[in-house]
A and B are shown apart, each in its own frame.
Chain A
């Protein structure tokens, strides 16, 4: 029940395309859903996050869609660029709890071809 399942494992798109990465969770106590971007040899960087009281959040070219009833959320990258090539992780947590432990998805390696 603590798992977050992420798909696909890898994704290749052409420049300008819209890659979509999906995540699903089981624990209805989760109330904070961030996405992280990680480049090789670096730590993850927070991209965008959403809480379950909204169904969509947009920041720049990144959009999170959230479906509370289906317990799913997804990341869309508009007008993708080669510089977006990285590994993306979704995560979930009980953000307001004292520990705030993040449960990470398995990761998606994105390649954006020029």
Chain B
């Protein structure tokens, strides 16, 4: 149980395009989803927290207009990287939990490469 699916697993696109990443909880209802960014050989950096039906809460230093997060249903959250540039290239990982006090379960990440 507690499977989180992330799509796509890898995307390569040109500078200036927008990229959408989907995060789905397959066998539970995710009241809260989290989006992380991870640089090579580094730890996970929380970007934002989203509760279903509410606006996302962004961490300090994360541009909300750059990284648009939507959590419209209890099983789906999306991260859109708008007007992506090479410095946005990274490994983006989502996680989800089904309520306070419950563990976070992670997707397998999306490797984003901007040329």
Binding site for B on A (CB under 8 A): 32, 34, 36, 41-46, 49, 89, 95-102, 104-107, 109
A99 touches B43 (CB 8 A): no
- Report Cα–Cα, A106/B44, bound state, in Å: 8
From B4, B32, B111, A100 is in contact (CB under 8 Å) with: B32
The closest CB in chain A to the CB of B109 belongs to A43
- A107 and B43: CB pair below 8 A? yes
Told that A49-B103, A107-B43 touch, could you supply 20 new A-B pairs with CB distance under 8 A?
Answer: A34-B103, A34-B104, A41-B111, A43-B6, A43-B108, A45-B106, A46-B103, A46-B104, A46-B105, A89-B43, A95-B100, A98-B32, A98-B51, A99-B57, A100-B32, A100-B97, A101-B49, A104-B43, A104-B44, A106-B42
Task: Give the Cβ gap from A44 to chain B, nearest Cβ, in Å.
Answer: 5
Contacts of A41 on B, CB cut-off 8 Å? 108-109, 111
Binding site secondary structure of chain A:
loop
Q: With a CB–CB cut-off of 8 A, which chain B residues contact A46?
A: 103-106
In this complex, how many residues of chain B approach chain A with their Cβ under 8 Å: the count is 26
Known contacts A43-B93, A97-B100: A106-B43 contact under CB 8 Å = yes
Please list 29 pairs of residues, one from A and one from B, whose beta carbons are closer than 8 Å in the complex, sorted by A's number: A32-B101, A34-B103, A41-B108, A41-B109, A41-B111, A42-B108, A42-B109, A43-B6, A43-B106, A43-B107, A44-B44, A44-B106, A45-B106, A46-B103, A95-B100, A96-B100, A96-B101, A97-B100, A100-B97, A100-B100, A100-B101, A101-B34, A101-B46, A102-B34, A104-B43, A104-B44, A105-B43, A106-B42, A106-B43
- The digit string for B32-62, where 1 denotes a CB below 8 A from any CB of A, is 1010000001111010010100000100000
